[in-house]
């Protein structure tokens, strides 16, 4: 059999490619991680008792939107890094937007705060545990998204691992918002971001091994 005939025969027997498989894989991994983060938050920390009153405050939704926007942008970056030959491009700028908005909100609040209140606004009451709790809630999404990305054959595993970690951290932060009593932008624009960066740093370390294919 000639080589051309063999290639033609193999091509006709190849199953059709499911173009939606990557989307389903990512959706399954993220939803699983988010639901697990919510369950961990409820079991380990509990929903804040005044959640109904908190939901009437604009700062509650601003804080939740901050974490959700970072999660959405990180998901976009991760999905692009997971596919060989796909450029991230402007996704980096989109990822930077909610972070910058949080810092602007922090600057505005601190600029209008009374003297002597700046440090308490930044530290709040839970700054020692906040980043670690976010990183803990991020772990289910971290594992699930590593599984999803590994199946996509990423060619930059260290960078892809960092994106997975940031996405996982933001996912854990969304769940943590339902527990955390801290509402001041100087607090969450600082410590929430640090909590997201912990799993991102972990992704840099484990990415080359966990995403090997």
**Overall average pLDDT of the 176-191 stretch:** 96
**Overall average pLDDT of the 179-193 stretch:** 96
Pick 27 or 5 by higher pLDDT.
27
**Overall average pLDDT of the 39-55 stretch:** 96
**Overall average pLDDT of the 175-198 stretch:** 97
Whether the per-residue pLDDT at 186 is higher than 80: the answer is yes
Alpha carbon distance 122, 107 (integer Å): 11
**Overall average pLDDT of the 65-83 stretch:** 93
- Residue 16 DSSP code: P
Which residues neighbour 112 within 8 Å (Cβ) at sequence distance 6 or greater?
none
Domain boundaries in the chain?
42-210
What's the whole-number average pLDDT of the chain?
89
- Lowest average pLDDT, out of 2-11, 27-36, 49-58, 71-80, goes to 2-11
Residue 86, pLDDT score: 76
The tokens for 135 are: 């990183």
Which residues neighbour 76 within 8 Å (Cβ) at sequence distance 6 or greater?
91, 94, 95
pTM equals 0.88
**How many beta carbons lie within 10 A of that of residue 56, not counting itself?**
8
Which residues neighbour 118 within 8 Å (Cβ) at sequence distance 6 or greater?
110, 186
Q: Of the candidates 81, 67, 57, 49, which has an alpha carbon nearest to the alpha carbon of residue 130?
A: 67
Residue 88, pLDDT score: 78
pLDDT digits (tens, 9 = 90+) for 86-127: 777 777 888 999 999 999 999 999 999 999 999 999 999 999
Alpha carbon distance 98, 58 (integer Å): 16
**Overall average pLDDT of the 9-26 stretch:** 61
Which residues neighbour 185 within 8 Å (Cβ) at sequence distance 6 or greater?
59, 62, 63, 102, 105, 106, 108, 109
pLDDT digits (tens, 9 = 90+) for 143-164: 999 999 988 888 889 999 999 9
- Lowest average pLDDT, out of 56-65, 67-76, 90-99, goes to 90-99
Whether the per-residue pLDDT at 12 is higher than 60: the answer is no
Alpha carbon distance 172, 33 (integer Å): 8
């Amino acid at each position: 059999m000639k080589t051309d005939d063999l290639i033609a025969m193999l091509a006709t027997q190849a199953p059709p490619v499911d173009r939606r498989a990557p989307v389903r894989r990512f959706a399954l991994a993220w939803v699983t991680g988010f639901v697990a983060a919510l369950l961990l938050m409820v079991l380990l920390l509990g929903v804040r008792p005044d959640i109904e009153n908190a939901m009437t405050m604009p700062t509650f939704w601003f804080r939740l939107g901050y974490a959700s926007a970072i999660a959405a942008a990180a998901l976009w970056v991760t999905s692009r890094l997971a596919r060989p030959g796909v450029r991230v491009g402007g996704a980096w700028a989109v990822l930077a937007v909610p972070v910058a908005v949080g810092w602007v909100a922090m600057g505005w609040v601190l600029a209008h705060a009374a003297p002597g209140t700046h440090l308490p606004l930044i530290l709040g009451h839970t700054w020692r545990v906040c980043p670690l709790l976010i990183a803990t809630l991020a772990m289910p999404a971290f594992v699930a998204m590593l599984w999803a990305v590994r199946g996509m054959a990423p060619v930059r595993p260290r960078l892809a691992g960092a994106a997975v970690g940031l996405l996982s951290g933001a996912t854990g932060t969304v769940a943590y918002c339902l527990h955390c009593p801290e509402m001041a932008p100087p607090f969450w624009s600082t410590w929430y971001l640090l909590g997201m960066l912990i799993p991102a740093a972990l992704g840099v370390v484990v990415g080359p091994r966990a995403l090997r294919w």
